[in-house]
Amino acid sequence: MRREFDRLREGPFDLLVVGGGIYGAWTACDAALRGLRVALVERTDWAAGTSSASSKLFHGGLRYLERFQLGFVRTSLRERRLLLDLAPHQVRPLEFHLPVYRGDRPGPMLLGLGVGLYRLLGGRDGGGRARLAREEALAATGFLRPDGLRGALRYRDALADDARFTLEVADAAQRAGAVTVNHAEALGLLRGGGRVRGAVVRDAGGGATVEVVAAATATCTGAWTVDLLRGVDGLAGTLRRSKGTHLVLPALGLPHALLLRAPRDGRVFFLIPWYGRTLVGTTDTPFDGDPDAARPTAEDAGYLLEAANRFRADGAWRAEDVIARFAGVRVLQDDGAGTSYETTREFAIREPLPGLLVPVGGKLTSARADAARLVDRVMRELGRPAGACPTAARPLPWRPEGSFGPWLSRAVAAGMEHGLDPEAAACAARRHGARVGEIHRLVAGRPALAARAHPDLPFCRAEIVQAAAAEMVRTLDDLLRRRVPLAILARPDRAWMEPAAALAGETLGWDAARRETEIRALGSLFEPPP
Ligand SMILES: Cc1cc2nc3c(=O)[nH]c(=O)nc-3n(C[C@H](O)[C@H](O)[C@H](O)COP(=O)(O)OP(=O)(O)OC[C@H]3O[C@@H](n4cnc5c(N)ncnc54)[C@H](O)[C@@H]3O)c2cc1C
């Protein structure tokens, strides 16, 4: 991937997309594939906002059935199915167990119907029997609190690395011809003739500014939309934001995830196996501050630990067991619901000014389909035929050709021949897909790169070198939170941070002083919560 800030001067563009989360990436990709001249600018890094702070699920959202949002769930499940095909290296099936206890509300009958309907809507679920008897549920999840347990319900969804997925979609946009630039902030909209005509964009690296002129502008700025468009009529008071926190805890040794209900308020939360750790989340609290300042609080952590520990019979997690934590902010349509948890996640497009399109709401899962609707509107705005949506039938660029299962086995075997341990070989294959040969070549040339970047985590050092060389990395934060997410999965420790900075520095030309600055900047992210 190339970062070419100066190409932003090549306007006028047909479409300027502001914001490089999953919505911006899919929008730019779809529009470029439909033949538009597209520029995509991201203030910090690809997926630096909410798109790296999600629960990592490609799912319909079983809980939305409780609110009878059938269409919403069906769309997401259709997308889940599609992306399992278009990006099987990134999006993988994950089984969920929903333990059922005496006295639960909704009761077992309704829950069973809900899971049955969910599996039906999902089609091709392949998740085996829907009901597990009590003893089966206990055997499958050894630590479950047994008293009151009646059994478990079972269904399938899918899991990915959200930041990596977004990076691949941004790469797809670039390959389709879009000019894609991270660390480039839109400072304000350009206006003329009663229309929005693009934006003023500043290069975070050199500080240069450029007027990026475009016939249409889409602000895919998620939680930052409220600030970027403050003062634009028709938006104020129609959006609401909520924050969600996840905790990273040690592995529970489960191949499946759990869907549980917090005893304190009945909200649904998950225990999800991710890169050898357990993600516990999420909270859902109203948020009205600066999204850059959104941090997990001690209260968030207390809520999640209390909720998770209610289901454990093998000893409770304590605050000091928390390895890491992260928070993201959603922007939602304000539908007047009593709580942010109940507020609709449905996607909508606002057009508060001619030439300006503002997406609101949505999900990681449905972002491709939602972006297609957005690009349809752009085509109409430009007076061009919308045509068929190109992303619906196009594998992501790193998708290996042919049948995925056999390819994965071959790629893992090849990685092991080059000296990677089996877990690291599988991890590299999934994360790099068809490009995994580049990791193998790096290791062949320098065998020390086969070692893990952190002893507990499955990323080899070659992944760090590859990211620095070819994945538009500018800072250690880009590298270690989104390309190779050590900083999300491990406690801060110079023992792994310094070698990682040194490896990246070889490619990025960082001297000792710069490496130290980068390590300190990254370290500040680990400060204890307020
Ligand atoms: C806690 C939580 C858990 C979730 N879990 C799931 C899940 O498991 N599955 C699922 O499907 N969905 C999930 N979601 C929803 C999903 O994460 C979001 O819908 C999605 O990530 C939003 O993407 P986005 O591109 O709109 O926003 P973002 O990812 O936030 O992207 C907006 C980008 O705009 C950039 N930006 C802002 N201002 C400017 C500017 N002036 N110039 C340039 N760039 C700018 C930001 O830096 C940011 O990168 C979850 C959401 C939350 C909060």
Q: Over the chain, what is the mean pLDDT?
A: 94
**Comparison of pLDDT for 528 and 151, the residue scoring more:** 151
* CA R_g for the chain: 23
Q: Probe ligand 1: pick from 5, 45, 50, max atoms within 8 Å of CB? A: 50
Write out the two tokens for 222.
């998620």
Residue 371 in this model has a pLDDT that exceeds 90 = yes
CA distance 31 to 485: 29
Q: Are 96 and 119 in contact (CB under 8 A)?
A: no
CB of 228 closer than 6 A to ligand 1? yes
**Structure confidence by residue, pLDDT tens digits, 201-256:** 999 977 899 999 999 999 999 999 988 888 887 777 788 899 999 999 999 999 99
Looking at residue 363, what is its pLDDT?
Answer: 96
Which of 363, 474, 482, 488 has most ligand 1 atoms within 8 Å of its beta carbon, as the pocket-test mutant? Answer: 363
The pair of three-digit structure tokens given for residue 505, joined into one six-digit string: 């520095």
The stretch 460-464 carries a mean pLDDT of 98
Tell me the C-alpha distance between 276 and 254, whole Å: 10
| CA angle 484–487–493, rounded 5-degree value | 120
Q: pLDDT of 108-150, one tens digit each?
A: 888 888 898 899 888 866 667 889 999 999 999 999 999 999 9
- The confidence score (pLDDT) of residue 18 equals 98
**Bridge partner list, 331:** 241
Specify the pLDDT at position 60.
86
Task: Tell me the residue type at 310.
Answer: R
* Mean pLDDT, residues 299-326: 95
Q: What is the pLDDT of residue 164?
A: 98
222 lines ligand 1 (CB under 6 A): yes
Report pLDDT for 308: 97
**Cβ of residue 54 lying under 6 Å from some atom of ligand 1:** yes
Q: Dihedral through CA 249, CA 322, CA 453, CA 94, nearest 10?
A: 20
Nearest CA to ligand 1 atom 1: 244
Quote the ligand 1 centre to 413 CA distance (angstroms): 36
Q: Which of 55, 56, 271 for mutating ligand 1's site (highest number of atoms within 8 Å of CB)?
A: 55
Query: In this predicted structure, what is the pLDDT of residue 126?
Result: 60
pLDDT tens digits, 33-45: 999 999 999 999 9
Q: Ligand 1 within 6 A of 158 CB?
A: no
Give the burial class of 135: count Cβ atoms within 10 A of its Cβ; 0-12 exposed, 13-18 middle, 19 or more buried.
exposed
Short-list 99, 94, 95, 96, CA closest to 144: 99
User: Cβ(430) to ligand 1 under 6 A?
Assistant: no
Q: Which of 54, 246, 366 to mutate to test the pocket of ligand 1 (most atoms within 8 A of CB)?
A: 54
Instruction: For residue 328, list its beta bridge partners.
Output: 244
Q: How far is the CA of 162 from the centre of ligand 1 (A)?
A: 10
Task: Work out which ligand 1 atom sits closest to the CA atom of 283.
Answer: 1
Per-residue confidence (pLDDT) for residue 314, from 0 to 100: 85
| Neighbour count for residue 39 (Cβ, 10 Å) | 30
**Cβ neighbours, 10 Å, residue 380:** 12
At residue 65, does pLDDT exceed 90?
no
Alpha-carbon span 22 to 26, nearest angstrom: 6
pTM above 0.85, yes or no: yes
Q: In percent, how much of the chain has pLDDT > 90?
A: 82
**pLDDT confidence of residue 70:** 84
Q: What is the pLDDT of residues 412-455, one digit of tens each?
A: 999 999 999 999 999 999 999 999 999 999 999 999 999 999 99
- Per the CB < 8 A criterion, the answer to whether 181 and 10 are in contact is no
Q: How many angstroms is it from 50 CA to the middle of ligand 1?
A: 3
Index of the ligand 1 atom closest to the CA of residue 363? 19
Q: Is 105 left (phi over 0), alpha (psi -120 to 50) or beta?
A: beta
